[in-house]
Structure 1
Amino acid sequence: MSRPTYSAISSYSRVRLLHLLQERPQRTVAELCDATSLHANTVREHLQRLIDGGYVVAETEHRTTRGRPRVLYSAASAGVSPVAVRKAREAAARGDLMRRIMPWTDAADTALSTDAVHQLDALTDDLGDAGFDPLVDEGALTVDLTPCPHAESDPAARELLCQVHLGLMAGVLAQAGGPLRVEGMAPSCDPAHCVVRLAR
């Protein structure tokens, strides 16, 4: 079975939907339609792709009154995505195998816990699926994504893409479980230069 790729966010409409869900979780299809002017069927299709990729979770509303319960959608960082948890577990297993086969790749001198190392495994895998070639510095707790494939995007779109990617990275770390979190992007006047700072 092949792993789902970041094609789940290759559509700018899906990026916009993710941004809305990162800003405020537990939104309905109707709310997302109003916010994006997309047809309900299009929104549902995009949401399903995001759920399949492990970036969005859906839950049925608990109602105390009559009426059909609504389905509420949130970014995976606001809930538990079984897909994202499975992807993180598989990435950790691959990372452990690589460290056993090639022990020189194990940066044991960074004093990172096993949970933190597994978080970085999940993050590296997810970014690799996105088309990035991440360079992780476990000592400095940075992830260099240079060159950024979105550097040539319209500046307004690039800002939204950066926010969504940071949110996705935060979600991957949260779903993997461990002490690491996204602190932010290192300042740079060059949009092609992208380094993300992590913190314990």
Structure 2
Amino acid sequence: MTTGRPAGYSAISSYSRVELLHLIQLQRERTIADLVTSTGLHANTVREHLQRLIDDGYVVAESEHRTTRGRPRVLYSAADGAGASSAVQQRKVKAAAERGDLLRRVMPGQQSIELDTAALHQVDAVVEDLMDAGFDPLIDEEALTIDLTPCAHAEAQAAHREVLCSVHLSLMQSVLTEAGGPLSVDGMRSSCDPTECVVQLLHAGHRQ
């Protein structure tokens, strides 16, 4: 499914943006000064990267509430679908569900016997988000897994695999939360092959 964006557009194709997003996922309400100190990037560069992340629905910005004089700072938080919700992310989730419903209506063979409507809409949203990020996800609705092999980032950014995996798992959880439903990210299946990536989901209504 195409999004009309040029190849490589993804906000998280740049490791500098991944690093910023990781810091913001670890701690809410970050300031520009804080992120400059943590990354060593120039303030203008940080602002540009943050705007890209905001435009893609991964980060939200709000002015701090001050009780004293002075210009309020802008605080940046991860759009996790719970404590902070992005209007961009909301639109993406809604559009993904509508496209998924349409596909299932015109192609009866696409009907799921494993997942209910809410869970299907969550899958619709997370699959489209992963495709935007350069992945080619393969869903197993029975096993509740998302196979991202080969990882689009494993070789290009191999030195930062731990951070990359953490950011991507958090983004997947954010999309699932925003979509609303019984599915959540349970973790990544361990593998001896660093390029192999299979994410395990958890259904709140299924006993383990």
Q: TM-score range with shorter-chain normalisation?
A: over 0.9
How far has the Cα of 1:9 moved from its partner?
A: 1.0
Report the Cα distance in structure 2 between the residues aligned to 1:106 and 1:14, rounded to whole angstroms: 37
1:64 maps onto 2:46 in alignment:
no
Matches within 5 A, 1:151-166: 151-153=154-156, 155-166=158-169
More divergent stretch after superposition (70-79 vs 155-164): 155-164
How many residue pairs were aligned?
Answer: 198
Q: Which amino acid aligns with 1:123?
A: V
1:79 corresponds in structure 2 to 84
Change (3 A) 1:154 1:93: closer
1:90 maps onto 2:95 in alignment:
yes
Q: Deviations over 1:56-110 (max 9, x none)?
A: 0111111122221111101111410000110010000000000000011111x21
TM-score by length of 2: 0.90
Determine if contact 1:6/1:126 at 8 Å carries over to the other structure: no
Matches within 5 A, 1:110-129: 110=114, 112-129=115-132
Report the Cα distance in structure 1 between the residues aligned to 2:144 and 2:121, rounded to whole angstroms: 14
Change (3 A) 1:10 1:190: same
Determine if contact 1:91/1:122 at 8 Å carries over to the other structure: yes
1:42 corresponds in structure 2 to 45
Determine if contact 2:189/2:200 at 8 Å carries over to the other structure: yes
Report the Cα distance in structure 2 between the residues aligned to 1:162 and 1:193, rounded to whole angstroms: 12
Q: Which amino acid aligns with 2:74?
A: V
How far has the Cα of 1:150 moved from its partner?
A: 2.3
1:7 corresponds in structure 2 to 10
Report the Cα distance in structure 2 between the residues aligned to 1:196 and 1:28, rounded to whole angstroms: 32
How far has the Cα of 1:2 moved from its partner?
A: 3.9
How far has the Cα of 1:165 moved from its partner?
A: 0.8
Q: 1:181 aligns with which of 181, 184, 206?
A: 184
2:206 corresponds in structure 1 to none
Report the Cα distance in structure 2 between the residues aligned to 1:47 and 1:86, rounded to whole angstroms: 19
Where in structure 1 do 4 or more consecutive aligned residues deviate above 3 Å? 1-6, 153-156
2:28 corresponds in structure 1 to 25
More divergent stretch after superposition (145-154 vs 41-50): 145-154
SS at match of 1:32: helix
Change (3 A) 1:133 1:157: same
Q: Which amino acid aligns with 1:97?
A: L
TM-score by length of 1: 0.93
Change (3 A) 1:12 1:41: same
Report the Cα distance in structure 2 between the residues aligned to 1:58 and 1:137, rounded to whole angstroms: 36
How far has the Cα of 1:153 moved from its partner?
A: 4.2
1:140 maps onto 2:140 in alignment:
no
Structure 2 gaps, min length 5: 204-208
Q: Which amino acid aligns with 1:80?
A: S
State the Cα RMSD in Å.
Answer: 1.7
How far has the Cα of 1:113 moved from its partner?
A: 2.6
